[in-house]
Each structure stands twice: as C-alpha cells, then as structure tokens.
Amino acid sequence: MENRIAVIGIIVENYDSVEKLNGLLHDYADCIVGRMGIPYRKRHVNIISVAVDAPQDVISALAGKIGMLDGISAKAAYSSAIFNEK
C-alpha cells in the first residue's frame, strides 16, 4: 500500500458542526500525525490544519467528508513523496 503525506486545511464557520468534525477526526485518528487549530476571533472562524499519513484515497475521503459538513470547508495539499507501507 502506498501512503502519502498531506495537510488538510479546514475553515470552520459554523460552530454547530464542530462535534461532527471532531467525530470524523476521531474516526481517522490512526492516520493523523498532528493537528493545529487557530481561533480567529476577529472574523469568527476557526482555522485548522491536520497533517496526515495515509493512502491517497483515505486522505481524499476524509477531506471530502469534512467538506460536506455544514459551514466547514476543507482542501488537501499532498506531498509528492510516496511511501510503501507493509
């Protein structure tokens, strides 16, 4: 299986969706390397970056599920490096 390193950038504008977002991140915890959240109070949004190490289809699925939550946007940026997992 080939793994990729990626960062998923997340913008939270609807705080009612945060519980669902945290549930998704919990479901994918085995591929999350780390995360950082920044509350941007002036604009009433939260900015979150999540570093992941997983197959590309898993990363895409996570970013897609996050992006489907109400008031939450997500995009993934991939490293060009590919790692073979055994």
- In this predicted structure, what is the pLDDT of residue 23? 97
Q: What is the pLDDT of residue 1?
A: 81
- Where do the domains of the chain lie, and which CATH numbers do they carry? 2-84 (3.30.70.1150)
Q: Block means of pLDDT (10 residues each) for the chain, length 86 residues?
A: 95 97 97 97 97 97 98 97 82
Can you give the pTM of this predicted structure? 0.93
The DSSP element (H or E) to which 50 belongs, if any, is strand 45-55
From the list 8, 16, 17, the residue with the least C-alpha distance to 52 is 8
Beta-bridge mates of residue 55: 3
